[in-house]
A and B are shown apart, each in its own frame.
Chain A
Amino acid sequence: EPEVTQTPSHQVTQMGQEVILRCVPISNHLYFYWYRQILGQKVEFLVSFYNNEISEKSEIFDDQFSVERPDGSNFTLKIRSTKLEDSAMYFCASSETSGYSNQPQHFGDGTRLSIL
């Protein structure tokens, strides 16, 4: 079964440094998402992306965050200047369609980001 793959599985970064988290969505999917889960807390929506544009973003997704689909396969989340509170598990998800569709979101295994 096709999978969403995320790299790296664990990223350790110094505070203030830039970090890029990478995701390869399922190949025929058109809608892409990033979520994060701070240790011990709920999974929170960050951003959704369709047709090379952000379609929705949460309050968490401030100017320090950006997303990009640099080629036909990768979907990246960049944090420009990391803060301690950015430490979390970041999940990428993709779906074939949305809205009236029956297709659910498929999640990757996540990247654990640790800010020192």
Chain B
Amino acid sequence: AQSVTQLDSQVPVFEEAPVELRCNYSSSVSVYLFWYVQYPNQGLQLLLKYLSGSTLVKGINGFEAEFNKSQTSFHLRKPSVHISDTAEYFCAVSRPTGFQKLVFGTGTRLLVSP
């Protein structure tokens, strides 16, 4: 079985500052890794995904994440955040074969203030 831990429930940051949202996972098999964003009153939008290959993946809106197998982590980063990045961010894993049931973390609320 897979599980995902997002240690920070809320991350406050000032506009134009860098941010890192942490994600650690547990799995007995290899996994695919995802970050989704949820803006208020909206669904989940895919930010980026890691399937294989380069451990640094780039996504939409200037976000990137790095897969670290030895530390079982997939932290999300952005060098300079905007007010519009305020949202809930979910890390998720799935098995690489069969049906892609997503297992989500509890989410991190990113609060960007001026």
Pick the contact of B43: A33, A48, A109 (CB < 8 A): A109
Instruction: Report A's interface with B, CB cutoff 8 A.
Output: 4, 6, 31, 33, 35, 41-45, 48, 50, 55-56, 91, 93, 95, 98-100, 102, 104-110
Q: Is the CB of B100 within 8 A of A31?
A: yes
Instruction: Report B's interface with A, CB cutoff 8 A.
Output: 34, 36, 41-46, 49, 51, 90, 92, 96-107
Q: Is the interface of B mostly helix, strand, loop or mixed?
A: loop
Pick the contact of A110: B34, B43, B103 (CB < 8 A): B43
Give the docked Cα–Cα distance between A102 and B42 (Å).
24
Q: Is the interface of A mostly helix, strand, loop or mixed?
A: strand
Given known contacts A42-B105, A43-B104, A109-B41, is B99 in contact with A104 (CB within 8 Å)? no
Q: Is the CB of B97 within 8 A of A100?
A: yes
